[in-house]
Structure 1
Amino acid sequence: MRNPKVLFLTLYTFSLTGGIEKVCRNFLQVLGVLQTKQKLGNYRSLSLHDKITKQNHKGYEGNKISFGLAALKESLNADIIILSHIHLLVFARMIKLIKPQKRIILFVHGIEVWKPLTRWQQSFLNEIDIWAVSQYTAAQLQKVNGISGKKVMILNNCLPLAPNDIATSKDTLRQKHHLLTGQKVILTVCRLSSAEKYKGYDLVLLALRDLIIIYPNLRYFIVGAADESEQKRVLKLVQDCQLEAHVTLTGYVPEAEIEEYYQLADIFAMPSKGEGFGLVFLEAIAHGCKVLAGNSDGSSDALLNGELGLLVDPDDSDAIYQALLQLLEEPASQELIDERQQKVKRHFGFERYVEQVEALLFED
């Protein structure tokens, strides 16, 4: 199909700062690039929950009826409808009932499709195209929900087109947190949620209890918004481990400042067992961090099965301790850091992502 028109349906795009929202923002930029290259016709983006409306994008502030009516109307003029999340699948089903010939594509990210779906969802997924962010997510979707492998393609997440210029921000954070020159810093960037206790910061804290015997000035920053219950639980663990002088929970931090924390850190550690992919690993490597991740989820895709960092059993506290100790005792050379940064750009850079999306959209 020449110059197809695209409708992109999302839950959030600009009103939240999580990994899926970053995927949505990157993908909108891709659509703009493909339109400039005259590969696409018009494209429109509708967001169920966004409050922001801008060129080619409209937010509906949670109004499902208005969003659904707009999605149906816009779909009549679109050749391809792309969904950012399975929670939007019902709208695609309605579109298919009205216009069965429409091509539907669904992004699948992680835990939302690792569990059994309803029968109608399983049936419908076998009628549409699916873009999975990792091999692990694709495998789980097929295994748990019986989705044909022919319907699932892999589209790893990517780094943004133009990262912020943060060349002078490391010293600012060092002063803010009273860090000494050369003081080692471990970082985790994630949401602290009582409903999602799979990120692995608990085991990093337990490892830290022993690491400070060898590195008494070691600091650990957990950056991200926290619900009250989880924050209270984590602070209690910090207290029990007598780590108050070593651990900082920053709470919510704007995206630009998160990049400053990447610049500050020596090691990015998130031995998760529930990552669909793990865009934060790419961000950390791009900023020069050494990385530790879990080996039982989509993190393996992000780290190219260990080429870009250490992968450990996320349930093995001793393995996590040993891995962190290794990263602290064996500083990465600038040559190795540069090599990993180039490899991340080559595999997960924005330009590569544009090429992959174009190939998937126009495959025979």
Structure 2
Amino acid sequence: MSDTKAHGARGSAGLTILHLATDAYGGYGGVALYNRDAIEGMCADPAVKKVVSVARVQSAPLQPLPDKLTYDTSGLGGVADYLKAVWRQLRANPDIDLVYCAHINLAPVAWAISRLRRVPWMLCIYGIDAWPQYATPRGKFFASRADLVCAVSAVTRDRFRSWCPVPLEKTEVTPNAIHLDEFGIGPKRPDLLARYGLEGAKVIMTFGRLDPAEKYKGFDEIIELMPEMLEERPELRYLIVGKGDDRPRLEAKAAALGVGDKVIFTGPIEEEEKADIYRLVDVYAMPSKGEGFGFVVLEALACGVPAIGSNQDGTQEAVRQGMIGQVVDPDNPAQIKAAIFKVIDAPREIPEGLAYFALPAFTARLQGLIHRLVGR
């Protein structure tokens, strides 16, 4: 346990937060976005003087950085380089008040710093990174010593606690934030309809990484349903958005089922086109089994697209247990089909309950937790 009394006086002129990141700025995907939102929420807090983030991975050019942020990319070369970068920042910033650990793999570093500087530390977990199938004695030892564990969903928190003995009162659910101003209801762009051959079609969509090791997104379930659904609705098309090495297998499966020309693979898409691609869609379906939360569900809802989540993972929380979308059993094809047909002709509408996940709500939650940890 950290000595919070020792750091309280030291940070009296304003808080300094050390953020240990996998990727954030210059990163793709939900975890990188979550980290950017967390960093910007910290920087927006008037009580925070400085945020120092040390990145482990960068795969794209950096996005604009907040004024209070020092973003250190000198540790990208490997574990040794990362540890050296962290050590340099510790020497340059003797007034650290809190350590924010953005991935369970970095928990040993966060724990060591909290012991050295006698400050509290918090750990963020996202999904399968902290589920039982990835449990290790090392992870259990360090993660159980966090002063606070923030999980993106209750499913992730509960599965984490099934193997890591963290008291419930030392955990919080802090779901992803949706930037509502970047989405919204809009017309279907004719050039995108032409690009993907979707003119006159009713479109089902799933967005995610096509990874052979992660066959839980729901792609297989929808492809297997396509022949049956096409008998009733021949205008249906299934749009699979994302990249990965599992694409050849999925393409072969669609071809073998006789729906190869009805299943469209976009490959990677440009970030600036994302909202317009959602707007091509009539229903977003993710009958998945391994999503920690399902941020893409929020993006679809933010464009007015009806969404379907799963009762076996965190997507049920993205649709707020059925309040702003449907929940299905991914092992029940009839249930998935019924849910799709129920909403595929529905008018576009952004549900009021989506505001629960809006960026201001996320920022307020995060800032409240930080103040609770540092005692002011």
TM-score (norm 1): 0.90
SS at match of 1:25: helix
Q: RMSD across aligned C-alpha pairs, in angstroms?
A: 2.0
Contact 1:108/1:130 (8 A) holds in 2:
yes
Give 1:251 deviation, angstroms: 1.1
Contact kept, 8 Å, 2:24 with 2:36, in 1: the verdict is yes
Listed as ranges, the gaps of 5+ residues in structure 1 are: none
| CA drift at 1:295 | 0.7
Whether 1:61 and 2:79 are equivalent positions in the alignment is: no
Which one-letter code corresponds to 1:86 in the other structure?
I
Q: Which residue, out of 347, 353, 359, partners 2:356?
A: 347
Matches of 1:218 and 1:157, distance apart in 2: 31
Alignment match, 1:282: 298
User: Where in structure 2 are the equivalents of 1:208-219 lying within 5 Å?
Assistant: 208-219=226-237
Deviation at 1:210, TM superposition (A): 0.8
Counterpart of 1:205 in structure 2 is 223
Q: Structure 2: how far apart are the matches of 1:123 and 1:283?
A: 36
Structure 1 position 259, deviation (Å) = 1.8
Cα distance in 2, alignment partners of residues 169 and 57 from structure 1: 38
For 1:1-364, what aligned pairs fall within 5 Å after superposition?
1=8, 2=12, 3-34=14-45, 38-50=46-58, 52=61, 55=65, 56-59=70-73, 60-75=75-90, 76-99=94-117, 101-115=118-132, 117-128=135-146, 129-160=148-179, 162-163=181-182, 167=186, 170-181=189-200, 183-227=201-245, 230-328=246-344, 331-334=345-348, 337-338=349-350, 340=351, 342-344=352-354, 346-363=355-372, 364=375
Gaps of 5+ in 2: 1-7
SS in 1 for 2:44: helix
Deviation per residue, 1:13-63 (Å, 9 max, x gap) = 1333211111112222212322xxx22111111111126567421223233
Q: Give the drift of 1:169.
A: 6.2
Over the matched positions of the two proteins, sequence identity in percent amounts to 26
Q: Report the Cα offset of residue 317 of structure 1.
A: 2.0
Q: Which one-letter code corresponds to 2:210 in the other structure? A: L
Q: Distance in 1 between matches of 2:49 and 2:180?
A: 22
Alignment deviations for residues 223-264 of structure 1 (CA, whole Å, 9 cap, x no partner): 00111xx11210111101111221111111122222221111
Distance 1:161 1:74, change over 3 A: farther
Letter aligned with residue 207 of structure 2: V
Question: TM-score, normalized by length of structure 2?
Answer: 0.87
Is the 8 Å Cα contact of residues 294 and 311 (structure 1) preserved in structure 2? Answer: yes
Question: Residues 196 and 259 from structure 1, CA distance in 2 versus in 1: closer, same or farther, beyond 3 angstroms?
Answer: same
Change (3 A) 1:348 1:120: same
CA contact (8 A) 1:26 1:160 kept: no
Inter-partner Cα distance in structure 1 for 2:185 and 2:37: 20
Give per-residue Cα distances to partners, 1:293-316, cap 9 Å, x unaligned. Answer: 111111121111011111111122
SS in 2 for 1:205: helix
Counterpart of 2:120, as a letter, is R
Shift of 1:162: 4.2
Task: Tell me the distance in 2 between the aligned counterparts of 1:49 and 1:332.
Answer: 42
Structure 1 pair 254–120 and aligned structure 2 pair: CA distance change class (3 A):
same
